[in-house]
Amino acid sequence: MTHTFPVRVYYEDTDMGGIVYHANYLRYIERARSDWVRGLGNDQNAMRDAGVIWVAQRVEADYLASAKYDDELMVATEVIKVTPARLIMGQVVTRGETVLFRAKVTAVCVAAEGGRPTRLPAEIRALL
Amino acid sequence: MTHTFPVRVYYEDTDMGGIVYHANYLRYIERARSDWVRGLGNDQNAMRDAGVIWVAQRVEADYLASAKYDDELMVATEVIKVTPARLIMGQVVTRGETVLFRAKVTAVCVAAEGGRPTRLPAEIRALL
Amino acid sequence: MTHTFPVRVYYEDTDMGGIVYHANYLRYIERARSDWVRGLGNDQNAMRDAGVIWVAQRVEADYLASAKYDDELMVATEVIKVTPARLIMGQVVTRGETVLFRAKVTAVCVAAEGGRPTRLPAEIRALL
Amino acid sequence: MTHTFPVRVYYEDTDMGGIVYHANYLRYIERARSDWVRGLGNDQNAMRDAGVIWVAQRVEADYLASAKYDDELMVATEVIKVTPARLIMGQVVTRGETVLFRAKVTAVCVAAEGGRPTRLPAEIRALL
């Protein structure tokens, strides 16, 4: 099952090359992940109040084509693998039929203080 | 030979987890690459005026430990491989003895209009 | 007439204070202005290709209450004054009934090279 | 007495207009304020652990000239007024002799939870 999330490119996203600054794709796909886990019932404010946060552990990203100001993009997110402690997702950013960006992201949950790994939220482990 | 570049963590870099937002490491290591190529004589303003820009083609990033506000970090950059059209670098962000972040970045040069790949600047090809 | 534009707060927008980083309100209200002028027929890509860009000339901003992760905000934009060379807008960011942020923004158009002021786009001058 | 703080412009700071994105000046001057209060002995990590954060309450900003990639800028910060609860500063960003940006910033301290105003840190009140 694929979660989709629209992103519009604004001035803030561009750089002097006239295209979206490369690091901003990580922000786009993080918005999509946040939207997806919210839909599953995962409340990141409540998690943080309980001292637990999501963090990226590994990102593999391929930049295939560039996006410009005003482009309407779509972020597609799929689960590749869930373990009790780790969530691996495939994420693709497209503009119409064109694939612009592709990433494989491993996310884990850690204690905000100290960074010790913890189990994933129940809503996510339910995907196992 | 390793290029080193210091980064101080400011408020803007942090997120509600109390640590540096993950996408900002891509900004840190991009500053380091810019500083390094500037030292080699590569002028990105002149390149852009000539219609050519550097873009990231692939990034593999591992997040090993987190950084906090006010931390003094060091970005180390090494060339892994240079070809006429492609520059592959290893970049590591450390705080003292602690490795926080490690990335392998493939950068290429493209035409700002259209995105067609071009040869790397002469200063970079001289590293071949 | 008031233009309204919704903004959702994501992780990237927050800082270690647990709230939206202050500079990001300028990004939010710039998205709203971009959305508004797009609706009026103003194409910022075409402008840039013609060598003209919008720039902020003056911003007066009051921070009244803070926003948190996941908040659904609304940006309201009103024209205060238009002259041939200058557009002054009032912009307010709210969460439900609560006013979080209020700004008065003066925008002008300039030549991308050199920064010399130019007349506003016809679509905007039509608001005179 | 004026505090000065150097800023180099990187790719991340620019937008498709080929200049520094306007909101990023707020980040530059915030770095300068952070550097300045650190020098006075103000530890923002310790403040946050104690549940208190600095927030901007009002910003008046004038954009006078633009900055480009690789520019070396200087941020000058001066105290305009200190009260037990409020710090008002004048901040100017220059490139050589050219003034690019000028702001008047009112900063206050608030409880991270709830946002209730608190007195400024002792190091700052000592400037009274």
* Residue C20's CATH number: 3.10.129.10
Q: Which amino acid is at B36?
A: W
Give the position of tokens 């540096």.
B20
- Using alpha carbons, list the distances in angstroms from residue C25 to B96, C92, C118: 35, 10, 27
User: Does the beta carbon of C14 lie under 8 angstroms from any beta carbon of chain B?
Assistant: yes
State pLDDT tens for residues C26-74. 999 999 999 999 999 999 999 999 999 999 999 999 999 999 999 999 9
Per-residue confidence (pLDDT) for residue C1, from 0 to 100: 81
Identify the DSSP state of D20: B
Per-residue confidence (pLDDT) for residue B99, from 0 to 100: 98
**Quick check: D110 and D57 in contact, CB under 8 A?**
no
The token pair at D39 is 């020098």
- What is the spatial distance between Cα B123 and Cα C10, in angstroms, rounded to a whole number? 40
Residue B20: partners with Cβ closer than 8 Å, 6 or more residues away = B9, B13, B14, B66, B67, B68, B71
Q: How confident is the model at residue C128 (pLDDT cuts 50, 70, 90)?
A: confident
Per-residue confidence (pLDDT) for residue D128, from 0 to 100: 83
List chain A residues with pLDDT less than 70: none
Percent over 90 (pLDDT), chain B? 96
Pairing mode of beta strands A98-111, A86-95? antiparallel
Q: What is the pTM of this model?
A: 0.97
Which residues in chain D touch residue C61, judged by CB atoms under 8 angstroms apart?
56, 58-61
Q: Which chains border A (3 or more CB–CB pairs < 8 Å)?
A: B, C, D
| B61 CB-side CA count, 13 A | 29
State pLDDT tens for residues A98-112. 999 999 999 999 999
**Quick check: B36 and B81 in contact, CB under 8 A?**
no
Phi-psi sector, A121: left (phi>0), alpha (psi -120 to 50), beta: beta
* H or E segment and range at residue A48: helix A44-49
Residue A28: partners with Cβ closer than 8 Å, 6 or more residues away = A7, A73, A75, A93
**Quick check: A12 and C31 in contact, CB under 8 A?**
yes
List chain D residues with pLDDT less than 50: none
CA torsion C26-B69-D103-C5 (nearest 10°) is 10
Mean pLDDT of B46-71: 97
Identify the DSSP state of D12: G
> Would the CB atoms of B16 and C12 count as touching at under 8 Å?
no
Residues of A known to be catalytic: 15
- What is the spatial distance between Cα D42 and Cα D60, in angstroms, rounded to a whole number? 24
Q: Domain limits at C7?
A: 3-125
Identify the DSSP state of C19: S
- What is the spatial distance between Cα D2 and Cα D75, in angstroms, rounded to a whole number? 10
**Quick check: C58 and C105 in contact, CB under 8 A?**
yes
Per-residue confidence (pLDDT) for residue C85, from 0 to 100: 93
Mean pLDDT (chain C) is 96
Per-residue confidence (pLDDT) for residue B123, from 0 to 100: 93
Mean pLDDT (chain B) is 96
> Would the CB atoms of A19 and D16 count as touching at under 8 Å?
yes
Per-residue confidence (pLDDT) for residue A128, from 0 to 100: 83
- What is the spatial distance between Cα D84 and Cα D122, in angstroms, rounded to a whole number? 9
Mean pLDDT of B10-32: 97
Mean pLDDT of C73-78: 98
β partners of residue C54: C109
Per-residue confidence (pLDDT) for residue A1, from 0 to 100: 81
User: Does the beta carbon of B18 lie under 8 angstroms from any beta carbon of chain C?
Assistant: yes
Selecting among B13, B15, B49, B62, the annotated active-site residue is B15
Q: What is the DSSP string of A15-31?
A: -TTSSB-TTHHHHHHHH
User: Does the beta carbon of C106 lie under 8 angstroms from any beta carbon of chain A?
Assistant: no
B6: phi then psi, degrees, rounded to nearest 5: -85, 145
Q: How many domains does chain D have?
A: 1
State pLDDT tens for residues C18-37. 999 999 999 999 999 999 99
Helix, strand, coil percent content, chain C, rounded in steps of 5: 25, 45, 30
- Using alpha carbons, list the distances in angstroms from residue B125 to B29, B83, B84, B90, C79: 21, 7, 6, 17, 53
β partners of residue A108: A55
User: Does the beta carbon of C17 lie under 8 angstroms from any beta carbon of chain D?
Assistant: yes
Mark D12-44 as b/e (b = at least 16 C-beta within 10 Å). bbbbbbbbbbbbbbbbbbbbbbbbbbeeeebeb
Q: How confident is the model at residue B30 (pLDDT cuts 50, 70, 90)?
A: very high
Which ranges in chain B belong to alpha helices (H)?
24-39, 44-49, 122-125
ipTM: 0.96
Q: C11, C16, C25, C49: best mutation site toward chain B, by most B Cβ within 10 Å?
A: C16
- What is the spatial distance between Cα A76 and Cα A91, in angstroms, rounded to a whole number? 6
- Using alpha carbons, list the distances in angstroms from residue C101 to B48, C61, C68, D2, D127: 37, 7, 13, 30, 29
Annotated catalytic residue C70: no
Mean pLDDT of B21-28: 98
